[in-house]
Amino acid sequence: MSLPPPAGRQPTIKEVARRAEVSPMTVSRTLAGGSGVRPDLQERVLAAVRELGYHRNENARSLRPGQASGLIGVAITNLANPYYGTFCLGVEEVATQHGRRIILGNTGEDQARERQLVADFIGRQVEGLVVVPSGRDTEESDDDSPKGDQLSGEHLGRVPLVLASRQVPGIGADTVVLDDIGGARQGTERLLTAGHRRIGYLGNAVSVFTGQRRYRGFEQALAEHGLAADPALVQRDQQDVESARAATADLLDQPDSPTAIFSANNRNTIGALQEISRRLRTGTGPGDFPALVGFDSFELADLTPVPLTVIDHDARQLGAEAARLLFDRLPGGVQPEAPRTVELPVTLRVIRQ
């Protein structure tokens, strides 16, 4: 039996192997689950691991020698939205293929929390960042702002960044977005073609990139039919289901309530469906409920009590694509020169005519 290594130093796999009187390969196999290793040898390895206090160090085993943390920082805006759980799954799957893990933080659409989270990730030596940026006040994004942006190169050092879902003015990072404008335009066009003229709008915050783009697509479709958005029918700034439900109630309570509603994300569509189904159950007006077209698919869309079309896309694919763009910039990647923007397509899916 060999002596334990000097205090304060992590024992190596070779020292574990010597103490257990097996080969280093047997130690590795045992720690990887024990497949193909005789039970008595596994027992000896585990005993040596315990005695020496050995921990397999994944960092040391990562592709990049030296101080790489093997961590990818992921900052999202709302983990209570199932959309972002699925998004994280996509990032995590690609990260795992590259031997990395994700550290995850939730910003709640709050700039200060995003700033803190990104500084924290950088401090933890992440190898890269995938960020769904929170909404930004347009005034703040002036180039001569002294504070700059926590996503600027100055704050990030050499840590590669990929933005997902949303761009940030002045930040020239790789970005993967959806075809927000085209999707919103086609969705609204569908309502117009069906003869609707009073179309309500339920949107996420004006300060959010997708909120702006989807509203633009909505306006474009109206303009193509010689119409303009009616301010009385436009409710923006709903970031959760409860506020979307209340905004829907406002639309439904108007004397000349809309015959259709375009909704800019799944939080808003779900809030609208909740309010409509509540009124159907309780028999409260209006007599006819609006048809819906909504961005994002979601579970149980099938149960809609009103005509519904969703603008469908895959949050997992969005996460995976963001991770792929990031790994292009990590050691072993293709190292593209200029920032790239990938726009993923969306498709209209009729849930109920």
Token pair belonging to 293: 């077209």
Question: For its own copies, which is the closer residue by CB, 182 or 307?
Answer: 307
Question: For its own copies, which is the closer residue by CB, 143 or 255?
Answer: 143
Give the nearest distance from C-beta 226 to its own copies in angstroms. Answer: 36
The C-alpha atoms of residue 182 and residue 297 are separated, in whole angstroms, by 16
Q: Contact with its own copies (CB under 8 A): which of 112, 223, 232, 350?
A: 112
Question: For its own copies, which is the closer residue by CB, 196 or 316?
Answer: 316
Angle (CA) 217-219-224 rounded to 5° is: 95
Q: Is 241 in the site for its own copies (CB under 8 A)?
A: yes
Give the nearest distance from C-beta 127 to its own copies in angstroms. Answer: 12
Q: For the segment 38-77, give every residue that binds its own copies (CB under 8 A).
A: 39-40, 42-43, 46, 49-50, 53, 55-59, 61, 69-71
Residue 235 burial by Cβ neighbours in a 10 Å radius (0-12, 13-18, 19+): buried
Residue span 5-34 as binding mask against its own copies, x where in contact by CB under 8 A, dash where not: --------------------------xxxx
Stretch touching its own copies by CB under 8 A, among 112-120, 208-216, 231-239, 247-255? 112-120
Q: For the segment 211-240, give every residue that binds its own copies (CB under 8 A).
A: none
The C-alpha atoms of residue 24 and residue 38 are separated, in whole angstroms, by 15
The C-alpha atoms of residue 74 and residue 39 are separated, in whole angstroms, by 40
Q: Is 106 in the site for its own copies (CB under 8 A)?
A: yes
Q: Is 146 in the site for its own copies (CB under 8 A)?
A: yes
Give the nearest distance from C-beta 245 to its own copies in angstroms. Answer: 10
Give the nearest distance from C-beta 117 to its own copies in angstroms. Answer: 8
Q: Contact with its own copies (CB under 8 A): which of 116, 207, 220, 317?
A: 116
Give the nearest distance from C-beta 91 to its own copies in angstroms. Answer: 10
- Phi, psi dihedrals of residue 10, rounded to the nearest 5°: -70, 130
* CB within 8 Å of 318: residues ≥ 6 apart: 87, 90, 164, 165, 176, 178, 344
Q: Contact with its own copies (CB under 8 A): which of 82, 286, 333, 339?
A: 82
Q: Is 157 in the site for its own copies (CB under 8 A)?
A: yes
Q: For the segment 300-319, give every residue that binds its own copies (CB under 8 A).
A: 300, 302-305, 316
Q: Is 299 in the site for its own copies (CB under 8 A)?
A: yes
CB 253 within 8 A of CB 244: no
Give the nearest distance from C-beta 292 to its own copies in angstroms. Answer: 12
Residue 188 parent element (H or E) = helix 180-193
Residue with tokens 């809030």: 271
- The distance of Cα 139 from the centroid of its chain, to the nearest Å, equals 25
Question: For its own copies, which is the closer residue by CB, 135 or 217?
Answer: 135
Question: For its own copies, which is the closer residue by CB, 110 or 230?
Answer: 110
* CB within 8 Å of 298: residues ≥ 6 apart: 82, 83, 266, 269, 270, 310
Q: Across the chain, where does the E strand assignment appear?
A: 71-76, 101-106, 128-131, 161-164, 174-178, 199-202, 234-235, 260-263, 291-295, 308-312, 341-344, 347-352
Q: Contact with its own copies (CB under 8 A): which of 12, 86, 220, 243?
A: 86
Residue 155 burial by Cβ neighbours in a 10 Å radius (0-12, 13-18, 19+): middle
Q: Which residues, in sequence order, are bridge partners of residue 260?
A: 199, 291
Q: Contact with its own copies (CB under 8 A): which of 143, 147, 231, 282?
A: 147
Stretch touching its own copies by CB under 8 A, among 90-98, 134-142, 321-329, 332-340? 90-98
